[in-house]
């Protein structure tokens, strides 16, 4: 595979982007059906949520079909959310970036699905304020595989990572009602196993900055009242994603410049 990449990297990136966009389209289906219990494993073909008309195969091309249809259902002309092509483009971007950062390696093949699951977690949590257990379970095999594929992270670091943030979050949630949701705690446990304790700490630190900044903005702008529930899953997922791509560089830079 690496030989093919070296021979024609541009072509590889194009094929990777196409496959990523197709998986992004599938992710749209997952996010639409998963919150509705029993729908995800249905063999029913894609359909318009407004009129329930089955979508024709020629209207299922990622990104392109949305623009051809001008963002509307062919049958009933109901508006199709702009988020659909955005997710498909993100699927393509994450696929290309995973190959660019980690090459054609087994590591890239586990990182990409993890990033896609995190994308689904973020958007479902944003929409429903819940993180489905099925997505947490889907992360487990990749977290176990990471124990063998991350050469510079020890087994002990992976194990400690599973508890570094999730255990304090659990204790805080038990002491302060509504401080953290169960989905957030389980997400950090599984992703902590994936990352190891150092990157897990960094992920949570980034999430606190992002989540705290958004919360402060919403409170100051009057869009949220003090004490109202705010989702934390998207911030955690962004923190984890940044740590996957740049975590080691961030930690090395910090230790080189600020650690005494």
The confidence score (pLDDT) of residue 4 equals 54
- Helices (H) and strands (E) in the chain — how many of each? 11, 0
d(Cα 204, Cα 157) in Å, to the nearest integer? 16
Least confident of 16-20, 73-77, 106-110, 127-131: 73-77
Structure confidence by residue, pLDDT tens digits, 211-250: 888 877 777 776 666 656 678 999 999 999 999 999 999 9
Strand partners, 72: 79
The confidence score (pLDDT) of residue 179 equals 76
| Local confidence band at 259 (pLDDT 50, 70, 90 cut-offs) | low
Structure confidence by residue, pLDDT tens digits, 166-214: 999 999 999 987 778 899 999 999 999 999 999 999 999 999 999 888 8
> Tokens 């729908």 label which residue?
39
Does the model's pTM come out above 0.85? yes
| Local confidence band at 76 (pLDDT 50, 70, 90 cut-offs) | confident
Between 80 and 164, the more confident residue is 164
77: left (phi over 0), alpha (psi -120 to 50) or beta: left
Q: What is the mean pLDDT of the chain?
A: 87
Report the first-to-last Cα separation within the chain, whole angstroms: 43
């Amino acid at each position: 595979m690496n030989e093919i990449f070296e021979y024609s990297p541009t072509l590889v990136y194009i094929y990777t982007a196409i496959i990523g966009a197709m998986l992004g389209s599938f992710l749209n289906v997952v996010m639409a059906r998963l919150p509705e219990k029993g729908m995800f494993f249905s063999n029913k073909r894609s359909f318009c949520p407004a009129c329930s008309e089955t979508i024709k195969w020629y209207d299922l091309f990622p990104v392109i079909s949305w623009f051809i249809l001008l963002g509307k259902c062919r049958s009933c002309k109901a508006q199709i959310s702009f988020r659909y092509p955005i997710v498909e483009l993100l699927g393509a971007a994450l696929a290309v970036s995973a190959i660019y950062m980690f090459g054609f390696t087994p590591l890239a093949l586990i990182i990409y699905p993890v990033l896609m699951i995190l994308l689904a977690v973020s958007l479902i949590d944003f929409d429903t304020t819940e993180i489905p257990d099925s997505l947490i379970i889907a992360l487990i095999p990749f977290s176990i595989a990471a124990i063998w594929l991350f050469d510079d992270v020890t087994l002990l670091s992976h194990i400690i990572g599973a508890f570094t943030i999730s255990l304090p979050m659990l204790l805080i949630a038990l002491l302060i009602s509504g401080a953290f949701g169960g989905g957030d705690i389980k997400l950090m446990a599984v992703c902590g196993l994936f990352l190891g304790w150092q990157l897990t700490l960094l992920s949570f630190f980034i999430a606190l900055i992002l989540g705290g900044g958004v919360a402060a903005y919403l409170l100051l702008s009057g869009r949220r009242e003090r004490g109202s529930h705010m989702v934390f899953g998207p911030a955690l997922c962004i923190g984890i994603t940044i740590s996957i791509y740049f975590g080691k560089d961030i930690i090395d830079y910090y230790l080189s410049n600020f650690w005494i």
